[in-house]
Amino acid sequence: LLASLAEHYKHHWFPEKPFKGSGYRCIRINHKMDPIISKAASQIGLSLPQLYQLLPSELTLWVDPYEVSYRIGEDGSICVLYEATATKPVSSYGMLSCKNQMMLGRTSPSKNYIMTVSS
């Protein structure tokens, strides 16, 4: 998965502008498996049915420099999975991340979910 993500994000990773390219780095499972996830699973011998059993049917994962966040379901709460501090101040240049755009104008209340990972 790490190698697949690194290759996919090679020309879409901007630590100096973490929100630039955030839509491209968004991984979605919405009753259809994201191709990056299915490729990585296939390489380690997981079938698509096995993958659907392991992951939620609706999952959004935002992979940005310094932060990885996720949401389970369309109305789920957005949770931070990983957060790091930038080595120098980061400016958003007035842009909203994909995650922040999704939170604007939300009309329904959030539902709380817990995502666990097992090995």
Number of domains in the chain: 1
Residue ranges making up the domain that contains 10: 1-83
Q: What pLDDT, on the 0 to 100 scale, is given for residue 110?
A: 47
Span 53-78, average pLDDT: 92
pLDDT tens sequence across 43-64: 999 999 999 999 999 999 998 8
Can you give the pTM of this predicted structure?
A: 0.64
> What 3-state class would DSSP assign to 100?
helix
CA angle 29, 15, 18 (to 5 degrees): 50
Asked whether residue 20 carries a pLDDT value surpassing 50, the answer given is yes
Which has more pLDDT, 72 or 115? 72
Residue 5 burial by Cβ neighbours in a 10 Å radius (0-12, 13-18, 19+): middle
Per-residue model confidence (pLDDT) at position 113: 45
Residue 90 lies in a domain: no
CATH number at residue 4: 3.90.640.90
Tokens of 108: 């329904």
- Record the tokens describing residue 116, joined without a space: 């666990």
Identify how many contiguous H helices and E strands the chain contains and give both numbers: 4, 4
